[in-house]
Structure 1
Amino acid sequence: MASPFQSGTSTPFSPTTTLSAPSTPKLKTAANDLQRIAESGAVTASTLVEYLASRSAYSSSVFIYDLAEHAGFGTLTKSWADEGGETAPVVSLQTRAGAGLSLVGRLSQGSSKDVAKGAVLTAYTTPSGLAAMVQSLSYLPPATPTSRLVIQVPTVTPVGEHFALSPTLAPFTPALTLLPEGFTVLASATPQEAVDFAALSYKLTGTHVIHLFDHHSSARETGHVTTPPIILPEPGLTLADGLEKAGYSAFEYAGDQEAQTVVVLVNGPLALTAKALASRISGLGVVIVRVLRPWDEEALRSVLPSSVKKIHVLDDVPTESTQGALYLDVFTTLLNPLIPGPLVKAHRVVPSRTQEFLSVPSAFVNFVADLVPAPAPAHILEGHTLKKLLFFSTPGSSLTALPKMVETTFLPHKSLSARLLTDHDALSKQGGVTADRIVLSPRDDDSPFVPLSAVLPISHQSPGVANFLGILDQSLLKSHDVVSHAAPGSPVLIVTDWTASELAANLPKDVVALIRERQLHVCTLNAKELASELAQGNSHVQKVAENVVVLLAFLRLYLGSAATEELVRKVAVQDLGDAVQGIELAKFVRLMWDGLVEVELPTARDPDEPAASPLKDFEFNAISVETADGDTVVNGARLGTWHDAAKHILFPSAFTPPDVLAIASSQEQNPALRPELPERTFLITCTVNRRLTPLEYDRNVFHLEFDTRGTGLKYEIGEALGVHGWNDASDVLDFCSWYGVDPAKLITLPVPGSEGTRMHTRTVFQALQQQVDLFGKPTKTFYTDLAEHASGIEDKYSLRFIGSPEGSATFKKLGEKDTVTFADVLKRYETARPGIEVLCELIGDIKPRHYSIASSQAVVGDRVDLLVVSVEWVTPSGSPRYGQCTRYLAGLKVGQKVTVSIKPSVMKLPPQPTQPIIMAGLGTGAAPFRAFLQHRALLASQGVPVGPTYYYFGSRHQSQEYLYGEEIEAFILDGTISRAGLAFSRDGPRKVYIQHKMEEDAADLARMLWDEQGAFYLCGPTWPVPDVYEALVGALVQHADVDRERAGAFLEGLKEEERYVLEVY
């Protein structure tokens, strides 16, 4: 096929270019040798910022708020922390009103270990999250060299009905005026700035620091040679000195030195674009604000030219009626009633306007040009030497790595620069859509830096800006408006198994008309078929071959009319070698050459052809994160087919989580139980499920025994058993029927805490029964998140209100009085119907319920006992409610397997057996004391001296709820229990509770606690705690000769010694 395209020889990209592409570094390598990788341009500035901020040498702890992680910032830190090494400990937090109080508590004076040792805390959040915590930050103590806070803020905010991600600072700027004086606020825009300012954040030892950086675009671009500086805290370093040493200033002026019109912006994508405009528009100056706090009035006045007459301040604001903080700062700086100064005008830029300026750069160019006023040259932001490449694909495609291969082909070239930016649209198509932008330019190009989002915008009804368009998934032609991004006369490569005639038939009429109007050169390549011919059934070779074939096709189209088979082979051999996967490169080139077909589209279409559905626009609303294994995770949960489950069976070594715990354990851990849990889990067998209360009694208290043989389960006296209960099967099936989801369909969900690196694949029924807390109590976040999926305006606003601070009363009523579940909320707001895979992630997992173990392993052996009461109630509307886990346990059959874990407890016996113990239990609070008594009876049978043992037990009726009564009576008879105070409140003429029984023994209790180092334990509901406390205080006052204040202080001291222990619920 004779190529109709102009040769790349007229651009900086000569056909004799030597192409070599180093392999993309894995995250583990990045964590160990980031300096070398950073200088290669293979990692983003955001990754470098995250790496620097997470080093234990600079941060004592890293607090990762959920909004930052949703924006793709923080996942790597968690991954590095899991690997150990030099990463600081990580704490995950949710964004709430007053979200900063956790940070305040860690740095405030008190018992915090961070205060004791000294700490530099790092937090990750977004502008929205930062706004939520500003008020709390006013309580922070002053920063010191050993105790201060650094907040790294990726400037990414979802805006609009499609949740498009924006770099706007609108959520934060109204709160800027509330920020306390002890903060420095830095704003960076270029990749090198982001890294330098991140380092500077830790060098400034006398201030708390907030660092805002462009995670929307420039900091996520690869291809930049950035140098991570060495961070050495410099006590006494001032902000001005720190900026100067790093080569920056608080304000940067660019443009005409005699400008009469100056535009002032906070450092960011628009500021960089304005800076580029200032270099080409006469009479225009731009001031870029790098330091928002502390505001340096003298520094601002010093950078303004004396000729300035008008100053236009562009402020990110949430609404047109909001006054911007930047305008107020500039206005007060220049206000001088004695000397007339320049006119200062505010321009309130709402998020939708920011999106317009970024997606349609010409709109911003015209806006700025109108301020001068001066004519704006056409294509002012487009250098003649730029080559713009755009690829559209779908996550999970075999060709997702192709854009990276194209970029790395150019990265090592001495005279060329290649930049890559990857964005995702997770909402407009099931599975998502990926857009990869690559810009190639001469390495010696000294033009001002402009983010890729402005250089190669993806906008609605694009005029065509890409010099090359690659469509790597044919389905996108029928769903999305992708062809419109191709510049007139440019090549369009479509990877498809459609023939030329099928392609012409599948393209919408409007797309065909656009292709003809712009004279686009459309070529197709059936990469799958060509790769299959080369791979001969080897699936790994097939995937590699597909990418190689498409890369060669790109090179052929790029080289233009100068391309020949031999030239393409010579260019590619520098990168790929003479053979790929044992197959000669020449064979790849030959097959590609014959398989690349230019499509001639018909001149006319049937006028009666029905109109196609409107094509969707690509909306950037998701950011991918590359995991430590090299996988790219965009969306967490997804629906699938039985093939997903089959992979786990056919390839167990690939899908079974590594057995980390078994390495340090003599017993083998089963990774298939609950791999997301930090504690070890065990699969035990129910052997006894016996009701202890009469059938006619309104409380079902039951005794459980589990066989632990062969599991390796060990527990200590007083520990708790975490039971991983299931939802009721009939309730789950009823919900599936109501929600309209097939319970037998496969769903893949991320393992909580794995950040998408590990997944559960199971049926929808299994997920809802065994994993997802469908009948649990909704959080405020759930209402807020669910609101975004409501199609009805009333439901949307109702859900938003409940999730807001103003809706706290309604939220409390729903949770505490109506006791609604997640399923109930969905039924109340029926227009809120997210996909089941999304819903599962919104709800989250069932948490284990913990029950005090009612046995001593030294006595019962390979067995664990529980004492449980069924939790049942009726809502005000008359609906019955059941405790999720107690309902599960009550229904256990003998022989049924249960997944459990062990949780340590404060309910520990004193170190010396001779120390007296006083136990007070109400109802099922008797459970741990049964274990205590078993253990003391065992010691006595072995001839070990034991101290006095007092046991107080309370319930309603002795005949119905004297739990383990026969055992208690036996312990009394053999002397294990020295004194029993049994209080059955409803059996006598007046109500008697355990505190009354304790008052009868006041002298003994005071002696045992005051003189004999005794320990007191209370287990059960919270309501008797004050009365029991008063009984003990009264005993001490009466018999230890102390006043109430000293008695209370004494009991508080016992808490510290773990001799006054409460386990109440």
Structure 2
Amino acid sequence: MAPPSSHRLGSPASTVSVSPHARHAFRPKDLVIHTGSDTDSASEGSLDESQVAAYSSALWNVYRQLERQERFTSGADAVLKVAGDISDNVFVYPLLNAPVEVDDEAFRARMVKLEISQGAASAVRGALAVGTNATAFVPSQTLPLFLPNLFQIAQSEKTAVFHVGCEAIRQDLAVGSSYESIYALQHSGAVLLNSSNPQECHDLAVVAHVAALRLKKLLVHFYDGSRVARELAKLHVLTPSALHSLAEIEQHAPYQATNGQDVADHVQLVMDDLFQVLQKQYKVYEYYGAPDAEYVIVVMGEATAAIQEAVAYEQMLGVKVGVVQVRLLLPWSHTLFAAALPKTTKRVAVLENISTGAFAFQRGLLTQNVQVFFHSAHWTSAAPVVVTGIYGGVFRNWGFSLGMGRAVFHHLATASTSRRSFVVAKSEALYESALETATVFPQLDVIYGQEFELDGVDAYTKQYLVWGYDEEGQRGDSIETSFHSTLQLLNRNPTTQVNAVINHSAPSPAVPRSVSTLEARLSLNGRVTGLQQSVEQADVTVVTRPALLKDFDIATNVKTGGTLLVHSNWKTIDDIDESASFKSQLAAKHATLLVVDIEELQKRVEDDAIANIAAQVAFLKAAALFDERVVYALLASQFSQEQHTTLRSFVSAVWGDVVSIVYPLEEWHQPTASYVEVTDENETPVELAPLSTLASVEPSKISHSVVTGKLQKRSRAAVSKETATAWKLMFPEAFGTRHGVRDHVTDIVRVTKWERLTPEDYERNVFHIEMDITNTAIKYDIGEALAVFAHNDEKDVLDFLRSYNVDPEALVTLPVAVKAKKGSVAGAPQDETLTYFQLFSQVLDVFGRPSKKFYQALAANATSDKEKEVLAHLLDDEGKDEYKHRVDETLTFADLLLEFPSARPTMEQLLSLIPRIKPRHYSIASSMKMNPTSVHLLIVVHDWTTPGGRYRVGQATRFLSAIQPGQLLSVSVCSSVMKLPVNHADPIIMAGLGTGMAPFRAFIQERALLKSKGVAVGPIALYFGSRHKAKEFLYGDELEQYEREGLLTYLRCAFSRDQAHKVYIQDLIAEDKELLADLLLRKNGHFYLCGPTWPVADVREALVTSFIAEGMDRKQANAYIERMREEGRYVLEVY
């Protein structure tokens, strides 16, 4: 990209060159200005206009070479690093005892930490008086103490930057964000610059310092101090050497101080100049949305990201909306704002991050600027209606959400214009809570974002929440120490992005200890999501002290189907002495309850450094992102070679000690009602909604759920009395017997076709299944997956039950959780009765891999001295290698029960010790529009040989590889990010390896149907990879037919082992760089990759190379891919 020409054209007599040494160390002497005469000379500060313009052009080339690096850090820390490496002096004014690192010898600046007092900033004025520049870090709560000196500094034409983290403390001591203290600088003459996220904090800190050096003015850079400043993220920052060079260049640049209306233009020019440095084109006023928008929100700060998401969503619905992000609050430029705002605007909502109390006395400064603009000569159309929305102060507790943004747009479009102010809150409950803490509260309209929220997050985003008590005088230190390195580990993968923030709550009479929480959001596809909105529903919630469960309603933050990990010595459900509300919420969400005794584990190892990783290993297991071997490999780089043996053993120990406590769903969901038994013939059965029962491949002899009137408490599964069971079967009406499918099962489908796609003698068994969905609840969209509930092998189950001396036809009764439908009340508790054969073939994962908890249970039950000795050996340090060998050999629960007959738990105990069979998810390989009565899957058998030579097959693929047409399957549809473009004319480029072909077959079918109906469809390119064409060209005939018909425009196959040298899909993508550049850069193409993770980096590199061939540099190419990712045009589904 060439430098903008509007302000950089020098006279023909002046040229500028860059010294060849400049690529290594930048100094002002590297910028040489050549004039028309050898005798001409000009000192700095006396150059004419053309020479200054030439100097600016030279800067462009020098700036391009400044180095950047990735760093996992907070917004506040990034700003401190920028200031420390650009300024001469940095003065830090911490609030109370807030820890601030000011002694880093690597900083270029002199770092000074000062106390806050009346007349603060005198030291800053002193530094400016001796001719140096200065920077100060100031908390917004104390800004009034700085105002006298700030006004004098602003009028002094000295180079100074103040970084202000904006926070507001409520009457209930909760901390939020508010900009109202910044508004006190309205008439100071200072330049007010705002950042909205951690990356902007770094980038605009650079802009602020460069602008201050050029303009010789006071720059106040302000940002949300409650979340944005403290949010940890993977940032692209300038290296210290690059910042040093930038400071040297700018301090000697031939610029003159500028006053008046030109200041805003000069700030924009600084942003333009720094484009190559920051790798982003910033605007003082930046518009996002429809070019002909009628409804526009004007906002600054951390609410911007959520409103941009709201704009994108509303645009999909056809609504003409947009948002203007204001980065420069003062001085205001009508010219630049007019250039950003669509001329079609009819209504404008200005969002102010201030309290209602402040608004009661005067309108916000941003509102004033916008209102004045619409009555100036820069707006020639009819002035739009301008309303003000308040979301700061007491309403700032939960962040600004997408739903709140949508609510504002809805209010703009539908509300009366008679009232020009409103409050936007996340929910009515939070609004009512805010009323209780508001000192001044004018009568305003109130709108809520809750009804406009979109459920959940995308499939590639995981959310985590960690709770912990603070040690005395240490806010969040223990949580940060335990989990900071974990976040860094997750960030190592270039395709992941982690954002995290630690929050604090002050002690109160109810909770005398202060508490910190760590919120983290992990994007598995690298998309930057940020944490401006709090994590409310976490995939994994970690509680570091069980007492927290009594003090806080933590179960509320557990996602449905999520995991709660408690650091505790709980062994069984009887140890869990928590409230009925906690148990009810956990059961209602079908959450997994994991427990690990961190303190006991840490006593097993003498190396403190290794002991301290216990919490993060437990978290990584609960998060299920990596297996044990990968976690060890990730951690090993942090330790010396001599520590690796101890580390490996400790990781294995922690991994085995994270155990699941199986709780009685029904009893916990309805704590006052459990087991049901008729004791009085006059009692009437309770009427229920249709009941959830176990789904089976064949209609079971007995598979019923029963509920009646009188309730008797029961905490575990129980074997039914034969007479009681007989009554239930004989008199179903009296006992309320129901048939149906369980809540997590959508429906039961019948297999209509099973076909192996690879030869019988080929080592990989890949097969195709079709299922009939006629008269079922199964509805699926393109790209979605099907969860299949597999069963254990029938022969293995019968052999196990006979060896366990259990009659397969005997009956067992289990408690069932009844999930109420939305808007209805949950029914009474229920039981389900089934045979032991059903229980062990369809429900319990008896052929799964046991944890150490199971070994401990066997050791506690064993009566044989020899078996006790063997089990004790496996559980202590000396037996770790043998225990690991058993894990590697994939020994199952059944294997152990047969090996240790004297240690066999009772059947009731087994129900609590053996986990339930989990569904397996497979990408759907068909389009429902083309196949309205069926759903297709493409599956490969997962098999392996253990180190001991045992051949093993995965449970689900073993079950599905043996299934026959006519049999029934329990299934459920799962969402996915694999979606076709909304515009059918957009090209699609698909890269699939092996069974990764599944969703792409569905894509092609969908477009084939559209084309058959006369719809114009865009080009389709498929890159398919497998080992041999003759043996593993999956759906090859179909694909070649589509190619002949012209639907499949480019069919590119890489059969890696069909020639002497291996060829992979990334090689073909690299060959087709011109084609891909055309489809992706010029025709809005969408790129998809499905399959294993190993080719992701190579495929991305091939795309980068193709973009470079089109004239981009590497940074621009990577930035374009990130933009594609954010737009949903670069989608990965890897495993």
State the TM bucket, normalised to the shorter chain: 0.3 to 0.5
TM-score, normalised to structure 1's length?
0.46
Structure with the larger RCO, 1 or 2 (CA within 8 Å, 6+ apart): 1
TM-score, normalised to structure 2's length?
0.43
